[in-house]
Structure 1
């Protein structure tokens, strides 16, 4: 039953994302309806709940049958059993689509695109709620995440695409616009604002340097934001586009650091001193670039270092900085990579056993005269 439910959900999404399908949105609603029905029937079967319809004839209690088969609960009955509270946003979303299916089935073929644009948020919540229920009841192994990927599309990514979608919404028949408005008006405010009823996203283009471990589209949950970030998100939702986008022009060497800058950045992020001399030891040890004078200087590890032919030098990436920070953040890691003991970057004192022949530790806070006295004493000894 769970397998059949997942198949219906995948078919629903495939239809929704197929612009050549005349009744794409109707197909999405119908097949998601079946996906939910099979899923909730699977839960009831697992929990030994009798979800057949019975009728009473005199003192006898008899099963209702259709073509000889017991009649089982429809989706609306299953939903009321699963979510008993009237103010549950998942239930509100499901009941919205149950009512919408009754209105659009075999009707409004010409308004499929307009309807898709008008209730896109509810449609996304319809699917995400299904995924949440599916994995919550039958384990993460049942997830559709690997089968349903973020589609490649234009939509509101372009100005003309956004204008087209807004025009489509205005073309929705008055009867459907009235139905949607009246249904939303009858909801508790907390339900209407809940993403489990109507899931909406504000997509912002990412301008940060590319992270090799990041996905093309990443979702940040509202609950994971700080209070300040939540205020900014809510302001965007209320006022529209209030983010000033800085366009990155093509720049040679953008995001790359010179050795001195890179060494200083690493030192800022670890508790030890980190000089350009240590930086040189590190790139030689890790083999991120050829040695000076190599006939093929461009043969670098491109994750960490790139050769600039025009200036005949090298730039180092943020990924390489992060790698050095991971390697050198502890005394053991520092010694293993660089072959020497680290110094505390505030006091200059050796951390752990100093190297053979090392000079006594110095302290920045001491006057130069005291440092000179100490140096004379050492020479005398």
Structure 2
């Protein structure tokens, strides 16, 4: 079971990283589904858990069978057994892909590139969670690290590549954008921001003498950083930095969006009409910044908005855009937020 699971995971990654495969993302989702199913079945077998389906007829208890074979738990049932806590990020990530698989298999097989761009963070988390479960349950010798390499790619390493990926995300059909936004909106903020649900990296090119013992790509966990290092990382995520050799230089306003830009990005990700008027209602209702004329314009919620004293205006963060997208994911949520039903595009 474990060998079959590892084979499925490797096939999933091979498909994901192969640009010649037209349905590579669908293949990744399907084969990671099987990899997780076989792994959790292996754990249940090891632990002596009966994971067959039974049905009761009167006083008789009978096995459910398919083509003569006992019917065993599907992945969703295994996930609920493995993580009874609904607030567990790994469970939320797996349940997201179970639901997404049902959609892309039946309706959205042609949206491969756009989906890859839209849920790349969740896809990376799905694989890393698998590796953690594999090694945590079966020991470090079972790791896939020696078999899976960091791919050579362009992606968001170039400006043109980043623009292409952003354009692809905006081309997702409205029902798929709604599904993704509604799923995120239903999660607790602590789960939605957890890397076990959605794994994201900010890559900084290292311009230092080559260390023969160092790897080309090395990952440092946030929990392993010192308090000073965490502050630097959080500042990079909030404002952005240009890193030049050993010195860090802040780029004023990097990553911050003006209201018109932010409203346009929100519009691209939700199925309802959204404009700067609604954007203004939002920041007033959520209190992310002071009202016009306030004697202390700098007193903002820094996670979502920063005041620019030089230009006497405000910039809004990606976290705030994501928050509004989650809040506008469904008709009911939008109605509660704005006090009226949204206009469908």
Q: Give TM-score, length-normalised by structure 2.
A: 0.70
What are the residue-to-residue correspondences of 1:295-306 with 2, within 5 Å? none
Deviation at 1:69, TM superposition (A): 0.4
Does structure 1 residue 174 correspond to structure 2 residue 165?
Answer: no
- 1:20 aligns with 20
Deviation at 1:228, TM superposition (A): 1.7
CA distance in 1, matches of 2:3, 2:110: 33
Secondary structure in 2 matching 1:109: coil
Count of aligned pairs: 247
- 1:136 aligns with 136
Deviations 1:106-156 (A, max 9, x none): 432331011001000000000000000001111111110000000000111
- 2:242 aligns with 243
Kept after mapping to 2: 8 A contact 1:22/1:109: no
- 1:196 aligns with 196
CA distance in 2, matches of 1:143, 1:247: 34
CA distance in 2, matches of 1:229, 1:16: 33
Deviation at 1:210, TM superposition (A): 0.7
- 1:31 aligns with 31
Deviation at 1:247, TM superposition (A): 11
Does structure 1 residue 125 correspond to structure 2 residue 100?
Answer: no
Secondary structure in 1 matching 2:152: coil
Unpaired segments of 5 or more residues in structure 1? 249-381
Kept after mapping to 1: 8 A contact 2:37/2:75: yes
CA distance in 2, matches of 1:236, 1:206: 15
Kept after mapping to 2: 8 A contact 1:12/1:31: yes
Deviation at 1:15, TM superposition (A): 0.4
CA distance in 1, matches of 2:246, 2:43: 50
Secondary structure in 2 matching 1:177: helix
Kept after mapping to 1: 8 A contact 2:18/2:24: yes
- 1:314 aligns with none
- 2:209 aligns with 209
Q: Give TM-score, length-normalised by structure 1.
A: 0.63
Deviation at 1:238, TM superposition (A): 2.4
Does structure 1 residue 11 correspond to structure 2 residue 11?
Answer: yes
CA distance in 1, matches of 2:237, 2:87: 23
CA distance in 2, matches of 1:201, 1:61: 51
What are the residue-to-residue correspondences of 1:1-381 with 2, within 5 Å? 1-239=1-239, 241-245=240-244
Unpaired segments of 5 or more residues in structure 2? 248-345
Deviation at 1:98, TM superposition (A): 0.5
Kept after mapping to 2: 8 A contact 1:156/1:165: yes
Q: Based on CA coordinates, which of the two structures has the bigger radius of gyration?
A: 1
Secondary structure in 2 matching 1:160: helix
Q: Greater relative contact order: 1 or 2 (C-alpha under 8 angstroms, separation 6 or more)?
A: 2
Secondary structure in 1 matching 2:241: coil
Secondary structure in 2 matching 1:204: coil
CA distance in 2, matches of 1:238, 1:85: 31
